[in-house]
Structure 1
Amino acid sequence: MIALVVLAYWVPGLALGLALRLRGWTLAAIAPALTFGMVSLAVVVLPRVGVTWDILTALLWAAFLVALAALASWLVNRRAPAPVEQVDEARPSRRDHLVVGVGVALGMAWALFTYLRGVKTVTTVSQDWDAPYHGSAVRWIAEHGNLSPADLAVLANTPGKAGYFYPNTYHSLLATLFDTGSLDMAVLLNYGAMMVLLMWPLGIAAFGLAWRLPPVAVAVAALVSTWFGTFPYDLLWRGPLWPFVTAVALVPATLALLRRLLDGERGIGAPVAVALSLAGLVGLHTSLAFVVAIYGGLLAVALLVRLEKTDWRRSWRPIALTAVLGALFAVPVVLPALVNVGGITGAEWPVLGTAFGAFEQAAMFSSSDPPPFYWLGVPALLGALILLWRRRLVWAVGAYAVFSAMFISAVSHKLPFLGVLTGPFYNDAWRIAALFPLVGAIGVGVFAETVGAGATALAKRFADRPWTPVAVPVATALVVVAVLAAGSGGYLRPNTQRLAWHMADSPVVSKAEVEAYRWLGEHVRPGEVVANDVRDGAVWMYPLAGVTPLNWSYYGPPEQSDAWWLEENFNRLDTDPAVRRLVDRINIRYAIVGEGMVQRKGERPPGMRDLDSVKHLRKVFQNSDAVVYEVLPEGSVQLSGS
């Protein structure tokens, strides 16, 4: 049930946020980040004390942190002087909250409609490169209860590799749901992706309100935030990069909390929440440390040049406390990633286009895949320029400019000096483009609000009524959104087409192949291994059916390893005693061959070809897309035609 996933994402964070005395839109938006922050701390602490991770442990850990936060908040607030009550005339009214709520609800609904229209069904298996690894990581943690990232080395075909690291906060949370036994893996992964579609417009709304944007602008921003292709859809089909996408979706909510620090709120609520959210973001994906650093650095510059204002006498303490707690919570999460920094920053991609073409795509808040999204890009760019003219959120627009330069470098390879910034993102233009829509959505909202302000001024000249300042901006915003929707269709077609491209029944994993994995799950005994082609989708047999494969991921085994050698020689089972000895030692009882290759790349390895001619292999299952062979004991040969 999707409700179970929603509860897992929000309830722990809501409880902690309430204990820290957070309220309103910010609490609702930041709750999943706090949840992931709690899981990130568990990843650091629990393996070191030998505690097994399961649903009960997760609940007890969350309860412990909530109680600790409540106690600390109570102790600090009881000693602090009571705040002086001030009337904030700019504070949104109930009507304003309703307007924003409608925008958020429509944004969420459109995102879910787009996603489901693209994937067709939540039982769909992703056809792209990274998906089976993520599914395997969820199942592995659920079955073994070990939160140490190094324990996942086996899933990268490198069992026992010292210092192996991949951030596993995302998988650890989903593992608690898979551990309940109530969700199929494919369904669970799709529900996890759908949580991004709920978090994103909610975070955009919290960000806009926290930084004092007009409610109409915030509502429009939240509504159109799920029209962009670069985020969230492109990285839900490409990769898919589920942990990274989840982290990016939580950036607006985290930036919303920063406003509370500048306001100098009493208590420890905002500092602890910011620090824990940062731990959650970097626990989801370590590259988010650089995203937050760019936003934070430019915000610091804006404060120094007084583009943003704060009362330093009130704000220096919460800011300093946040810095200390941020280092305490986030640094231990990031440190293990340093062992693999060379492999990350050294990633190479082909040239995707020219520098000018990349500039045009970035200016239109679009990805490296043309054509640009003009219907969103033009008003978004105009809105960003309006923000600069008004000297509002200049630091956020500046961050968008930095991301654009990084994107141009990654696409065209023309700005190699920016490699220090693009490296943490695997020098991947698509990941960088995912950072555009935060300012893009806000820009569209500001553009619509500006048009509404002009219409209101005009209406006052001809028919100044008490309802004019309220009704005209909302009506104008609706007209602007309607025009953009009529021209773009909410970009439903390109976004659903892209999702359907790699989220369909085949070419890599079809329903027929899943049926074969399920058959293996019913027949393979504990300790037995199934030989498989590394590229034909059979790596999904473990996350979907719990069957141990010889090859765990599309990256393939290291050269000269046992798995690599069998890929080259498995079909020599009849003639090479070394193959028989290795098959018996690994305890391989079945082999599977499926149709289709991941990303349409590669050929079947030599050892997995022409298995029908191997006398010590017996065909025991076959359908339209997969064949399963049983390895016969030495000296036992299948009869012709059997």
Structure 2
Amino acid sequence: MMLGAWVTVVTALVLVVPGALVGRRMTLPWPVAIAAGAPITFAVVSVFTVLYSAIGFEWNAVTALLAVVLTLLAGWAYAAVLGTRRLRGLTPEPTPDDPPLDRRATLALIGGVLVGAVIIAITCIRPLVNTAFAGLNNISQVWDSLWHASSLQWIHETGVGSALRMGELMNYDTHGFNYYPNTWHALGAVIMPLTGANPVELYNTYSPAVLAITVPFGVASLAYWFARHRFDANRSAVLAGAAAAVSALFPSLPYVEVQLTSVPNAVGVSIAPIAAMLVISAVRDRRRVLPAAVALSGVTATHPSGLILAGVIVVLWWLLEGLWRPAYGRLTDVLTLVVTGGITVVGIAPVVYGTISVADTNELPFFDFREEGIGVLKGLGQAAFNGTIPLEQHYPLWGLIILTLLGLGVLAWMRCWAGLAGWVVFVLVTANSVVALGALSYPLGAIGGYFYNSPHRLTFVVAMFSAAAAGLALGVIALAVARLVGGWLSSDERGRSARARWAMPAAVAVLMILIAGAGVVRYAADAQIASKERGGKYIGPDDLAAYHWLEGQPGARDSLILNNLDQGTGWIYPVTGLTPLFPFYRANDFSQRQRDLYWGVSMIGADPHIDQIVRDMNVRYVIDSPPSYWPFQNGVPDPENGVQGDPFLALRLHGAPGLAPVFRQGNVTIYRVDDAVLAPQG
């Protein structure tokens, strides 16, 4: 657990501090710069990993620090240019809408973020330490987790952090092009040597650690924006702190995403409201145009779905609020938004290029997770109140539902129509991913497509709005209680007046204690959600024993391991650093010799063509660990009936002339290639 705590602390510092320093250098006030720290940090990572790969620099802790220094210099230049006489008129310093927070409001905000972060980190990490096989070296059984862990190992090992070069990891033989938004992985690779965690330990702790920061920050930014429609800056900060704390109680926010390993998506979405708030504020304070664009590019590079959420928030704000209360005039305000968007496009050029390049293999709108037998009303209820897969057994959570409804009522009272509309829009998009909503199905599906139309990913978005609204409800109650108690204590007597000033801090402290207590009550259920896919169904203790046995064998580290990608044995790479032919459950651009070797494994020693491939690729060991991930990948191949089958089945049943079993434990077997096969042919 100490390692988990250490990774969480280091993650918080590395994630927030560089971006906060850059944001402050670009004229943002400290509270805003700290809030924007994570998206700006990810923007720095995204730009410099691509740049470094293009010029041959490795991405590591030293070059990452260099990237921060260069960005700080660029931020200094930006601030200097804004101060010149010629540009001062274009970027006038407006009357501050957000005056500096007083000490009590600042402490309330910080306290709420800390409560939320601690609940999330403990709830996600502690179950692995206490109950999962191998502790923090436990293997998640979900498809994407192998990619994330391997990416952390790959970037740390090679120094290649560019999102445009991830094909080199996905296919050992061809290095075919593949784009993947990997700023999250690149930042984690920098953290690995700082914490001393191995790739699997880092993956298991870094995943919840990042969400423990970004979820409370993102929800707090939404709540602060909501609250400013009615309250002053100090009271809004108190409400934002309450929302940050209560975000840890929504199971669909951190815990489902940790279970299903869609952490980069969750991180990108959770920081999207921060970037959206910066864009909105840039309309009134045009000095924020560049910081807003940088933050938005960081969100997009982390996961493009975050750009969709930020875009929806900004568009709804413009239609329902900005259009009717312009800062400098409608046309001028629109031009500010256009300039911000244009700079963002420049910053996300690698994302645009990569996304277009892999468009043929990523038809997002055509993912379909709809369930039969669910009516429209039930689908809307599940979408609105955190009841979609995999939370059906935990639905309904009446406490959260009541708080959400109260919060939506507060939003209506504050006339925060854009916030209400955002909640409604994503409830409809989420419901449409569960059940078709008639004529709305196509436009809603187009938005949801960027979230793979996956109910749990879309529920995450709804839950962010719901948590912000619930935080408003709790915060308003706390403020009302503080005002009531303060009225009772106030008088002309100096001592009683001093006690009255402590009414609000005391009410906030009680609220935080109650939320922390609710986190304790919810711990068992939420911890079970976060650690559900950890039982060793595909990769278990026998596999780990085989991997560690193999890493000590002669020639294993200097050769290629032939594995069945469908079985997930690519985990041998992040666990030991050995090189498998297939480091993931799929590969882009299969080569012909890969196909021949994969389907001809049982002919090693009997087919000269297969044997030549073994020599050419320097294969010395073969590992087999059934079952395969998907049902159609098991059993006898039957292409006519759509059954791919298992190419290693013949090896398992009859062996291969050129392979000798040298390790067997449970379902795992390791074969060594005979010296006769490896010997040069005359």
Match of 2:543 in 1: 513
Query: Unaligned 5+ residue runs, structure 2?
Result: 1-5, 130-134, 492-496, 636-645
The question of whether the paired residues in 1 share the 8 Å contact of 2:139 and 2:539 is answered with yes
Deviation at 1:380, TM superposition (A): 1.2
Instruction: Give the secondary-structure state (helix, strand or coil) at the position aligned to 2:139.
Output: coil
The question of whether the paired residues in 1 share the 8 Å contact of 2:486 and 2:501 is answered with no
The question of whether the paired residues in 2 share the 8 Å contact of 1:41 and 1:279 is answered with no
The question of whether the paired residues in 2 share the 8 Å contact of 1:282 and 1:288 is answered with yes
Match of 1:640 in 2: none
Match of 2:659 in 1: 617
Structure-2 change in CA distance of 1:496 and 1:299 (3 Å):
same
2:223 paired with 1:208: yes
Structure-2 change in CA distance of 1:204 and 1:586 (3 Å):
same
Distance in 2 between residues matched to 1:449 and 1:37, nearest whole Å? 33
1:55 corresponds, among 48, 61, 79, to 61
Deviation at 1:360, TM superposition (A): 0.5
**Aligned partner of 1:334: which letter?**
V
Q: Mapping of 1:374-393 within 5 angstroms?
A: 374-392=398-416
Instruction: Give the secondary-structure state (helix, strand or coil) at the position aligned to 1:230.
Output: coil
Distance in 1 between residues matched to 2:276 and 2:478, nearest whole Å? 27
The question of whether the paired residues in 2 share the 8 Å contact of 1:510 and 1:625 is answered with no
Q: Mapping of 1:20-35 within 5 angstroms?
A: 20-35=26-41
2:120 paired with 1:111: yes
The question of whether the paired residues in 2 share the 8 Å contact of 1:568 and 1:606 is answered with yes
Deviation at 1:69, TM superposition (A): 1.1
Deviation at 1:154, TM superposition (A): 4.2
The question of whether the paired residues in 2 share the 8 Å contact of 1:345 and 1:424 is answered with yes
2:623 paired with 1:592: yes
Q: Mapping of 1:432-443 within 5 angstroms?
A: 432-443=458-469
Please say which of residues 122-131 and 70-79 is displaced more in the overlay.
70-79
The question of whether the paired residues in 2 share the 8 Å contact of 1:34 and 1:280 is answered with yes
* Cα deviation 1:136-158 (Å, max 9, x = unaligned): 22322333333443432244348
Deviation at 1:632, TM superposition (A): 0.7
Q: Mapping of 1:409-448 within 5 angstroms?
A: 409-415=432-438, 416-417=441-442, 418-448=444-474
Q: Mapping of 1:68-79 within 5 angstroms?
A: 68-77=74-83, 79=85
Match of 1:197 in 2: 212
Q: Mapping of 1:294-443 within 5 angstroms?
A: 294-306=312-324, 310-312=327-329, 319=337, 321-342=339-360, 343-352=362-371, 353-368=374-389, 369-370=391-392, 371-392=395-416, 394-415=417-438, 416-417=441-442, 418-443=444-469
Structure-2 change in CA distance of 1:325 and 1:117 (3 Å):
same
Instruction: Give the secondary-structure state (helix, strand or coil) at the position aligned to 1:171.
Output: helix
Match of 2:642 in 1: none
Distance in 1 between residues matched to 2:582 and 2:98, nearest whole Å? 63
Match of 1:242 in 2: 263
Distance in 1 between residues matched to 2:526 and 2:580, nearest whole Å? 34
Deviation at 1:260, TM superposition (A): 3.5
Distance in 1 between residues matched to 2:677 and 2:310, nearest whole Å? 63
Distance in 2 between residues matched to 1:275 and 1:87, nearest whole Å? 21
Please say which of residues 90-99 and 312-321 is displaced more in the overlay.
312-321
Distance in 1 between residues matched to 2:542 and 2:401, nearest whole Å? 42
Q: Mapping of 1:67-146 within 5 angstroms?
A: 67-77=73-83, 79=85, 80=88, 92-120=101-129, 121-146=135-160
Structure-2 change in CA distance of 1:471 and 1:376 (3 Å):
farther
Deviation at 1:197, TM superposition (A): 0.7
* Cα deviation 1:156-213 (Å, max 9, x = unaligned): 3485476532222222222334467933001221232112212321343344346635
The question of whether the paired residues in 2 share the 8 Å contact of 1:617 and 1:629 is answered with yes
Distance in 2 between residues matched to 1:475 and 1:491, nearest whole Å? 24
Instruction: Give the secondary-structure state (helix, strand or coil) at the position aligned to 2:453.
Output: coil
2:600 corresponds, among 547, 569, 585, to 569
**Aligned partner of 2:78: which letter?**
A
Instruction: Give the secondary-structure state (helix, strand or coil) at the position aligned to 1:627.
Output: strand
Instruction: Give the secondary-structure state (helix, strand or coil) at the position aligned to 1:36.
Output: helix
Deviation at 1:125, TM superposition (A): 2.4
Structure-2 change in CA distance of 1:460 and 1:64 (3 Å):
closer
The question of whether the paired residues in 1 share the 8 Å contact of 2:199 and 2:575 is answered with yes
**Aligned partner of 1:385: which letter?**
G
The question of whether the paired residues in 2 share the 8 Å contact of 1:16 and 1:34 is answered with yes
2:174 paired with 1:174: no
Deviation at 1:13, TM superposition (A): 1.4
2:242 paired with 1:230: no
Instruction: Give the secondary-structure state (helix, strand or coil) at the position aligned to 1:553.
Output: coil
Match of 1:634 in 2: 676
The question of whether the paired residues in 2 share the 8 Å contact of 1:153 and 1:159 is answered with no
Structure-2 change in CA distance of 1:398 and 1:365 (3 Å):
farther
Distance in 1 between residues matched to 2:158 and 2:238, nearest whole Å? 49
The question of whether the paired residues in 2 share the 8 Å contact of 1:30 and 1:203 is answered with no
Query: Unaligned 5+ residue runs, structure 1?
Result: 638-642
Match of 1:186 in 2: 200
Match of 2:477 in 1: 451
Please say which of residues 602-611 and 284-293 is displaced more in the overlay.
602-611
Deviation at 1:359, TM superposition (A): 0.7
Structure-2 change in CA distance of 1:305 and 1:468 (3 Å):
farther
2:9 paired with 1:9: no
* Cα deviation 1:265-310 (Å, max 9, x = unaligned): 6xx3x2222111111111111222212111111111123453x663
TM-score by length of 1: 0.87
2:584 paired with 1:553: yes
* Cα deviation 1:48-85 (Å, max 9, x = unaligned): 33434333322222211111211221232354489889
The question of whether the paired residues in 1 share the 8 Å contact of 2:155 and 2:189 is answered with yes
Structure-2 change in CA distance of 1:567 and 1:413 (3 Å):
farther
Give the CA RMSD over aligned residues. 3.5
The question of whether the paired residues in 1 share the 8 Å contact of 2:606 and 2:658 is answered with no
**Aligned partner of 2:121: which letter?**
L
Instruction: Give the secondary-structure state (helix, strand or coil) at the position aligned to 2:660.
Output: strand
Structure-2 change in CA distance of 1:117 and 1:349 (3 Å):
farther
Distance in 1 between residues matched to 2:201 and 2:294, nearest whole Å? 29
2:575 paired with 1:531: no
Deviation at 1:110, TM superposition (A): 0.9
Aligned length: 630
* Cα deviation 1:482-520 (Å, max 9, x = unaligned): 777778865323321122211x35122224422322333
Structure-2 change in CA distance of 1:229 and 1:329 (3 Å):
same
* Cα deviation 1:370-402 (Å, max 9, x = unaligned): 11332112211221232123212x212212211
Distance in 1 between residues matched to 2:97 and 2:612, nearest whole Å? 78
Distance in 1 between residues matched to 2:656 and 2:524, nearest whole Å? 48
Structure-2 change in CA distance of 1:117 and 1:486 (3 Å):
same
The question of whether the paired residues in 2 share the 8 Å contact of 1:150 and 1:162 is answered with no
Instruction: Give the secondary-structure state (helix, strand or coil) at the position aligned to 2:669.
Output: strand
